[in-house]
Every structure is written in C-alpha cells, then in structure tokens.
Chains A and B, each alone.
Chain A
Amino acid sequence: DAGVIQSPRHEVTEMGQEVTLRCKPISGHNSLFWYRQTMMRGLELLIYFNNNVPIDDSGMPEDRFSAKMPNASFSTLKIQPSEPRDSAVYFCASSLQPGSYEQYFGPGTRLTVT
C-alpha cells in the first residue's frame, strides 16, 4: 500500500515566486496535516484538515501561505510570494481518523528560496 506521496521532492525558486507543494494522503485516511521542519524550530504544524475541511490554520505564518484540500486524495500548500525565510522541509502527514494522533508522514519537499 502506498504511503503519503508528496511532490516535488525538491524545489528551488527565487524570492517573490509562487510555490505550490502537493500531497496525496494514504487512501482511506480522513485527516491531513501540513508541517514545516527547520533545525531551529523543529516540526511546526501549519494547518490540518478533517474530512477535507480546514480545522485549524493557526500555524500558518502569514497570509502568503494558503492550503486547500479539494477532495479526499489531494491537497496543496501554496506560498505566494515566497521569501528566503520560507526555506525549510515541508511535510504532509495523514491519519486514519479525525482526532487520531498517530500520523503517517510523506517524504517531504525541501524548499529553497534564493
């Protein structure tokens, strides 16, 4: 069974450009999470969805960040415009049920903004 799929795996872009990260959760999982990981701050939850509905986006750093989940098998995280301080590894994770803390992570997207 396929795990969480993320694309692209690596993204290098210039400051000011739009970046879109994509995620396909595990089939049958009903919750999806977007995280950002840096050496200084570790894993930070940006937003999570239950049954495709955004529940908590309090971790989204600024209005430059937006996330959507149009259906149960696809989600996007968009940064527009991107800035160098957005450079990090972005992970998508899914869990079987809303409220479940057992999360399964994708391989991540390493974003570099120059």
Chain B
Amino acid sequence: EDQVTQSPEALRLQEGESSSLNCSYTVSGLRGLFWYRQDPGKGPEFLFTLYSAGEEKEKERLKATLTKKESFLHITAPKPEDSATYLCAVGDGNNRKLIWGLGTSLAVNP
C-alpha cells in the first residue's frame, strides 16, 4: 500500500538550533517528492520538488534532500517565522495523485 510517513509529529526548537524533519515513503511509480509549508488557517504552500535520489534543493534556511526511500528537510539556524507545519507528499504515477503525510508541526522559540 502506498504510504507517506513523517517524523517527528511535532518539534520544538530554540531559535538558531538546527534540525531535520523526515519523510519516508513507499509508493509504486514515484513521480517526485514534494515539500509544502502550511501556516495556521491557510492552505499548504509549495516549497520544493525532488525527482531523483541524491537531488538537493535549497531555499533560505531550508534544504531538502532525497534518497530512494526517504527525504529530509534540514532547517539551519531557524527563526520564529519558520514555525509552521511542514507537509511531505509523493506523486503516484500510477494513479496520478499526490499521497500526503500527516505533517510535522514545527515551533521555533525566540
């Protein structure tokens, strides 16, 4: 069964304390892995797409990496404005859909 699992469910960091979020997946016909950010009361906002193992993408303090079975979202020296829920999704080429994880809720304290 196609599945996306994110860990941890919640993470609390101090400002400047770097860490990583994990997204592991099992899906047939993978068509990319996608990271989104969701702020309270808003819809998910697209961050990155990764297509092949070894690929990396960066945006400000965020860096996403991909292996054959998982992806990491590294957050370097986070700031309070990085607080949000980070969602991971994989493209299922067989069914032409995104399969979503439940997200990691990140809180960065000043």
Q: Considering only CB atoms and an 8 Å cut-off, how many residues of chain B contact the other chain?
A: 21
On B, residues with C-beta under 8 Å from A are 31-32, 34, 41-46, 49, 87, 89, 91, 95-98, 100-103
Q: Contacts of B100 on A, CB cut-off 8 Å?
A: 42-44
A-B CB pair tally, cutoff 8 Å = 45
On A, residues with C-beta under 8 Å from B are 4, 42-45, 48, 55-56, 91, 93, 99, 101-108
The CA-CA distance from A51 to B49 in the complex, in Å, is: 24
Is A108 touching B42 in the complex (CB atoms < 8 A)?
A: yes
Is B102 touching A103 in the complex (CB atoms < 8 A)?
A: no
Is B32 touching A107 in the complex (CB atoms < 8 A)?
A: no
Task: Answer whether A101 and B34 are a contact pair too, CB < 8 Å, given A42-B100, A43-B100.
Answer: yes
A99 nearest CB neighbor, chain B only:
B96
Is A105 touching B45 in the complex (CB atoms < 8 A)?
A: yes
6 contacts between A and B (CB under 8 A): A42-B101, A42-B103, A43-B44, A43-B100, A55-B96, A103-B46
The CA-CA distance from A104 to B46 in the complex, in Å, is: 7
**CB of A13, distance to nearest CB on chain B (Å):** 20
B97 nearest CB neighbor, chain A only:
A45
B101 nearest CB neighbor, chain A only:
A42
Contacts beyond the supplied A101-B49, A103-B98, A107-B42: 20 A-B pairs with Cβ under 8 Å: A4-B43, A42-B87, A42-B103, A43-B44, A43-B87, A44-B100, A45-B97, A45-B98, A56-B97, A91-B43, A91-B44, A101-B98, A102-B34, A102-B46, A102-B49, A104-B46, A105-B43, A105-B45, A107-B43, A108-B43
Is A56 touching B43 in the complex (CB atoms < 8 A)?
A: no
**CB of A55, distance to nearest CB on chain B (Å):** 8
